[in-house]
Amino acid sequence: MTARTFVDSNVLIYAHDADAGLKQHLAAAHLRELWTSATGLLSTQVLQEFYVNVTRKIPKPLAATAAREVVRDYAAWVETPITPATVARASEIAEIWQISFWDAMILAAAEECRAERLLTEDLAAGAKIAGIEVLNPFQ
């Protein structure tokens, strides 16, 4: 991948979930490719969701110290802060494209950092929302 690609929390979570099977391998491969090409992007919302889920909600949770290290590593992919303007834009995206507010927050953050693609399993693969192409890394 050479396009600027925003990563949703589900992809980051699967990459660190030892019980995710094939999804873990696919998610990890995509993340490695994004590291190599220096085209990975995400937001503080993604890091927050990642931390809570991998320390509390997956079958074999990560230790808090390990999860914090992942957060610190991926902080390099955060280019823009979440602001009130991000929230307002997310509300517009949610209304226009009839998606959840939280998915719209991901898209608003992706839009702010000029992402061309979004890796997620939460939206329809192939859709173009707010000018961003949705890709499902597990298909």
Q: Residue 34: what pLDDT?
A: 97
- Per DSSP bridges, beta strands 132-135 and 40-41 are unpaired
| Residue 31 CB neighbour total at 10 angstroms | 22
Q: Residue 11: what pLDDT?
A: 97
- Identify the three-state secondary structure at position 12: helix
Query: Which residues in the chain land under pLDDT 70?
Result: 1
Question: Residue 45 in contact with residue 82, Cβ under 8 Å?
Answer: yes
Check the CA dihedral 130-93-32-10 and report its sign. negative
What is the number of H-type helices and E-type strands within the chain?
6, 5
Phi, psi at 61, each rounded to 5°:
-60, 150
Q: Residue 2: what pLDDT?
A: 79
Q: What is the mean pLDDT of the chain?
A: 96
SS (H, E, C) 69-115: HHHHHHHHHECCCCCHHHHHHHHHHHHHHCCCHHHHHHHHHHHHCCC
Q: Residue 1: what pLDDT?
A: 56
pTM greater than 0.85 (yes/no): yes
Burial bucket for residue 80 (CB in 10 Å: 0-12, 13-18, 19+): middle
Q: Which domains does the chain have, with CATH numbers?
A: 5-135 (3.40.50.1010)
Question: Residue 27 in contact with residue 15, Cβ under 8 Å?
Answer: yes
